[in-house]
Every structure is written in structure tokens, then in C-alpha cells.
Structure 1
């Protein structure tokens, strides 16, 4: 199955503590249906000091479930569902259902 959300996409958070915020997908975990979004779902973790890194409390992004994010429409930035369109040359393009704009290609 083709991925509806990919690395580098601009997404909108639909639910949770970061509802309404937008960010860019940094990493995808397709097997777990999760994505890491820049600036979203920030958690604080205690880091023990090592020879390479300093210790302390670090803030980093935790993965968020893909059902809680939606692609941002290229036209107006609001949340949209994703459809697919087959081009005449056989390419499969993602299309924003809200505006009909193609997302890639």
C-alpha cells in the first residue's frame, strides 16, 4: 500500500496536547504506524553523562500515531485527507481531497 504520509510532509495535529499545531515529518515508522514530527509531542528525558555527551534533562520529539495527524493542504495549510491519482504515464500521485491539489510531482 502506498504511504499517505511521508518524510518531509507538512502535517497538522488533530488530537492531543499539540492539537492544531503544524510541523514537518522528520521520520516515519511504517511498521508501528507512527511518525516523528518536528516540534510536536515533546518529551523530557534524563540523560546520563557519557564521554561523548553531556548529562542532564533533554527535550526531544516522541513518535505520534498517524491517526492523530493529517496532511496539511498545499493551498491553505488546513488538514486534508489524501487520495491517489494515476497519471497517463503510469505514475501514482498523492492528491489533497480538500482542494484537489497534487502533493508531489
Structure 2
């Protein structure tokens, strides 16, 4: 049986400002750097920092490096640029036929 969540559609995009809802970084905000769509995860700038032991190669020096780890999409919420509050996102079709994202709290386009 296929994973139900593997095909989950998200209304978040790369570069969006999000707030973390759970975990040790709860309450922090950051921008989305990238997506891991098959696992429904996002990598957020400055959130869930882990230490990774990396072996030295010809191009990079080895050692312990710090980097961001993926966090589940359900654990972050979009921050509206107009009202600066975490909000759910609705979609709306404008008169010219374009589909835009809308803040559920202030009804402004995102």
C-alpha cells in the first residue's frame, strides 16, 4: 500500500517565511531553503541545526559541520507578510484568471 502522504500538495513555496509549531525550535521563524517532496519535508534556514561528521575530500576539509536538517511540512505554518501572523492559506482565482494564495486572517494576497 502506498503512503497516503507521499502525494500531498502543499501551499508553501521556496523562499516563504514560516514559523515552527513544534519541537526544540518552536516559535522560531525562517525562510524555506528547499523541499524534500517524497518525504513531505522542508529545510528551513536556521532551524533544526545538526552536527554532521564529514570526511575530508580533495575539495573540502573534513571535520564537524553544522547544517539544517529537514522538518515535516505539518510542523511549519506560513507567516503572512501583511499581518505578520502565522496563517492558513486559501487559494483564489482573480478576474484575469490567475490563481493566487490568500491569507485566511487578513484576506490579502500573498
TM-score (norm 1): 0.92
Q: Tell me if 1:56 matches 2:63.
A: yes
**Does the CA-based 8 Å contact 1:7-1:27 persist in structure 2?**
yes
Equivalent residue number for residue 68 of structure 1: 75
Give the SS at the match of 2:34.
Answer: strand
> CA separation in 2, counterparts of 1:82 and 1:13?
16
Q: TM-score, normalised by structure 2?
A: 0.88
| Richer in strand (by share) | 1
How many residues are matched?
Answer: 103
Distance 2:52 2:9 in 1: 34
Gap regions ≥5 residues in structure 2: 1-7
What is the distance in 2 between the residues matched to 1:31 and 1:85? Answer: 27
Runs (5+) with no aligned partner, structure 1: none
Distance 1:53 1:61 in 2: 18
Q: Aligned partners of 1:26, 1:44: CA distance in 2, in Å?
A: 18
